[in-house]
Structure 1
Amino acid sequence: MPSPPPAPLRPISPLIRRFMEAWFERYLHRHFDALRMPLWSEPPAPNHPGPLVIYCNHPAWWDAAVVIVLSGRLYPQRENRAPFDAAMLARYRVFERIGAFGVDLDSPRGAAQFLAAARAILARADTALWITAQGRFVDVRVRPLGLRPGVARLAELAPDTLFVPLALEYAFWDERGAEAFAAFGPGIPGAELAALPRADRLARLEADLTATLDRLSADVISREPERFRALVAGRKGVGGVYDLWRRLAARLAGRRFDPAHHVGDGQPGR
């Protein structure tokens, strides 16, 4: 029997969407040293005349928060949508109001749900579909990436779509909080993808995302902040009694207190 049609996409609430974008940006500020993008990374043009598919790796729970912040910062005029595990969406219905739609990740029915919803989303030129294309948590160092095949089917549905790889990574540098990193690779037009056999399409998408991940990782390994621009800056310092003592010592010495572990001369803070 054919699969039942998917539930209609719930309308996005602009008010709830803006609130959640601001909430997650504050959340990243509180828990990370920074959300950084390498200087070579250029987000896909916001004036692209068709829809966008932005597909990324899936290294951590934080990916959803980063995607929500990026979509709000970079594409406030687009309708940003993303597939979401149906069981989790039943528990967190608020995500439906900001663009999530439920998909059963472990069944053929889920694949049909995803394609039907994607068809409706990509039928409009002012949309962006964000996909964690591995479909499960995978360490950033794992190769091959093992992208799910559904992302390669989308080029058939909307050849005017631009497909853009997004690399995500997290690392600890010199501060108490971790660093979050995001980098966009060059996009590929859907018509160019659709001209390839499905297996070759998936291989091309995976190769582009792998290359973006490898280039981002080289910058992350360098531990050189000047290679990046900070989209969200987090809190510096250790906090508590330790920073209170450092602040007092700086005041007694007539110095400006800098809570960062590394101060301007590149030497560890005292």
Structure 2
Amino acid sequence: MSPVALRSERMMAFFQVAFTRTFQGSFTALRVAKWGLPQVPPGRPAIILMNHPGWWDGVLILLMMRRFFLDRPGFTPIDAAALEKYRFMKRLGVFGVEQGTPRGAVRFLNTAKQVLADPHHMLWMNAAGRFADVRERPVPLAPGVTRLAEIAPDALIIPQATEYLHWSEKRGEALIAFGPPLDARELLAMDRDARTEHIRAACTAVMDRLAEDAMSRDPQRFEVAVEGRKGMGGFYGTWQYARALLRGQRHDPRHETRGQTGA
């Protein structure tokens, strides 16, 4: 059955809330670079080409849909064998792809074409087709990425970068940024080799710029898309709270406050 027919808005809403809470328990924040807020004009289907640094990427897709694209149904390909272990995900717009076979590639392109026939739809996919470190260069691209403009000439193709790291808090930071949209019609005017390198360059540019912001360790360069938990938590966090209460002070759970450096 088509992923469009299987997708359930009620299931999406439930898991978006559930995964937001899961994320909040493990991260300080989901931050989007101020220069990298999504630019997705209405009236055309969109393809979000993501890098794929870690397990949390699937959770972030649901968080980004909820935060930025509530009015755009999203669909995501994953390995067909993995989807059979988590069949409920079919209700979340996820569809299976048989990895490493010509038949799997054809089925993916046919399903993606069906999804992108609706100008309101978005296709979220990892550009590499595998896990890849954010520092890997040249940025890997799966073979099917080049064909996307051919199956959806009306689409906008938007590179999106993700990094996971730790700054000064116990819990990590998830950083994201969206690049400027690429017009599929313009990509079609290029031969496939040139098209591949143009897409690679766009993905590389947004990943490199996000890396600069990550190295700055400056949260002011970002907007908070999802607020997580700060502070140590546990016994030490309780002791900090009690000490502040006894002193008549406002408890700030952050490890590093403005103007503070070191441990």
Settle same-fold status: TM greater than 0.5. Answer: yes
Q: Secondary structure at the match of 1:36?
A: strand
Q: Look up the match of 2:66.
A: 72
Matched, 1:94 2:88: yes
Matched, 1:18 2:13: yes
Deviations 1:197-240 (A, max 9, x none): 11111111110010000000000000001111110111111112
Q: Look up the match of 2:160.
A: 166
Q: Look up the match of 1:4.
A: none
- Separation (CA, whole Å) in 1 of partners of 2:67 and 2:159: 17
Pick from 186, 196, 199: which aligns with 2:180? 186
Task: Tell me the amino acid that sits aligned with residue 205 of structure 2.
Answer: A
Q: Look up the match of 1:110.
A: 104
- Separation (CA, whole Å) in 2 of partners of 1:128 and 1:185: 16
The answer to whether the 8 Å contact 1:163/1:189 transfers is yes
Q: Look up the match of 1:236.
A: 230
- Separation (CA, whole Å) in 2 of partners of 1:154 and 1:106: 17
- Separation (CA, whole Å) in 2 of partners of 1:204 and 1:83: 23
Pick from 197, 201, 204: which aligns with 1:207? 201
Q: Look up the match of 1:177.
A: 171
Task: Tell me the amino acid that sits aligned with residue 193 of structure 1.
Answer: L
Q: Look up the match of 2:250.
A: 256
The answer to whether the 8 Å contact 1:89/1:102 transfers is yes
Across the aligned residues of Structure 1 and Structure 2, the Cα RMSD in angstroms comes to: 1.3
Point out where structure 1 has 5 or more consecutive residues left out of the alignment.
Answer: 1-6
Q: Which runs of 4+ in 1 moved over 2 A?
A: 7-11, 263-269
Q: Look up the match of 2:78.
A: 84
Matched, 1:139 2:141: no
- Separation (CA, whole Å) in 1 of partners of 2:83 and 2:66: 20
Q: Secondary structure at the match of 1:49?
A: coil
Point out where structure 2 has 5 or more consecutive residues left out of the alignment.
Answer: none
Q: Look up the match of 2:51.
A: 57
Q: CA deviation at 1:11?
A: 2.2
Q: CA deviation at 1:13?
A: 0.6
Tell me the TM-score normalized by structure 2: 0.96
Aligned pairs for 1:120-139 within 5 A? 120-139=114-133
Tell me the TM-score normalized by structure 1: 0.93
How many residue pairs match? The answer is 262
Q: CA deviation at 1:267?
A: 4.9
Q: How many percent of aligned residue pairs carry the same amino acid?
A: 42
